[in-house]
Amino acid sequence: MKKVAIGVDVGGTNTAIGVVDSEGNVMVKDSISTPSHGDIDRYINELTVAIKELIKSVKLVNSDVEILGIGIGAPNGNYYSGTIEYAPNLSFKGVVHFVELLRKSFPELPALALTNDANAAAIGEMIYGGAKGMKNFVMYTLGTGVGSGIVVNGDLVYGHDGFAGECGHTTLIPGGRLCGCTSKGHLEAYCSAPGMKRTAFEIMARDNAADSLLADKSFKELDSKMIFDAAEKGDKVALEVFELTGKWLGQGLADTVHHLSPEAIFLFGGPTAAGDYIFKPTRESLENHLLPIFKDKIKILPSKLKPGDAAIVGASALVWKEVEK
């Protein structure tokens, strides 16, 4: 009997769904729109239909498949209660009892669990990726925001209320840039993909860098991939963006090391595709900010999750953790 898990990633625009085997391979996948209408019952019905269609298609190929459960990664997902709570980029308002609603359609499944997307990525790294065998590590996800998942003694840290692990909201520069959460100076405001864009425009305004490859890009148009492409061509503004981003990120990671003493910190997300442009200054800054007892001990590693399927795979990993219990 081939055991598999279903991963569901609830994004602001789309919800990705996949059936994942024990090696982290996505056997089949699909996506549906994450609606703007705010009707959770209607959405759960659509999600149920999509999941059942994927199960059917897998069983047509291999009738000996056993579905162990469904893991869900979602913004503001609370593992303890199975709820999505006050997610700013979803149309569902207030506290949504997501697991309870979905359980009605799948009463036969052994495991149904939900957490936020960064926590799901951390579990995915532990079950399928570079953190196999590690008991103490941290996953940082760099994208529209900066998320994190903390693993201590082999277990994800949820805190007393289910929301532990918001390292992206560490105050990096008091009174600094406005963060998406409306506070100022958080790590996320500097090291997310939008943060890198803001850095680029600040540098160009400071230096009047009309000759930069980025100078003719509008604020709406510019993204971290364009900054990487310009850095590859030796653009001074782009190179400085990566130097500054790495400096700030390393400073934030040093705080994490001082709190947790992890074996490794994994970085995942669009900006990490830049390789040494981001990893080199981050490692240097980390070492510069560490206490002597931590120097040269902490590995900064790229995630080994496949970028295209990482959200689905990470969510599905929740199931394997549940059935281990």
Q: How confident is the model at residue 88 (pLDDT cuts 50, 70, 90)?
A: confident
Please report the sign of the dihedral spanned by the C-alpha atoms of residue 37, residue 39, residue 42, residue 44.
Answer: positive
Residue located via tokens 């469904």: 70
pLDDT at 324: 80
SS3 content of the chain, % helix, strand, coil (to 5): 40, 25, 35
Render pLDDT for 17-26 as a digit per residue (tens, 0 to 9). Answer: 999 999 999 9
Render pLDDT for 284-321 as a digit per residue (tens, 0 to 9). Answer: 999 999 999 999 999 999 999 987 888 999 999 999 98
Residue located via tokens 């869900």: 72
Residue 260 has pLDDT above 80, yes or no: yes
Closest of 213, 48, 196, 68 to residue 127, by C-alpha:
68
Give me the mean pLDDT over the 163-182 stretch.
95
Render pLDDT for 233-242 as a digit per residue (tens, 0 to 9). Answer: 999 999 999 9
Q: How far apart are CA 227 and CA 195, in angstroms?
A: 12
Q: 0.85 exceeded by the pTM?
A: yes
Burial of 233 (0-12, 13-18, 19+ CB in 10 A): exposed
Q: How far apart are CA 228 and CA 234, in angstroms?
A: 10
Residue 325 has pLDDT above 80, yes or no: no
Please report the sign of the dihedral spanned by the C-alpha atoms of residue 183, residue 185, residue 191, residue 194.
Answer: positive
Residue located via tokens 């699909």: 30
Closest of 88, 89, 85, 67 to residue 77, by C-alpha:
85
Provide, rounded to the nearest whole percent, the portion of the chain with pLDDT above 70: 100
Closest of 324, 325, 321, 12 to residue 149, by C-alpha:
321
Render pLDDT for 220-254 as a digit per residue (tens, 0 to 9). Answer: 999 999 999 999 999 999 999 999 999 999 999 99
Give me the mean pLDDT over the 139-149 stretch.
94
Render pLDDT for 11-60 as a digit per residue (tens, 0 to 9). Answer: 988 999 999 999 999 999 999 999 999 999 999 999 999 999 999 999 88
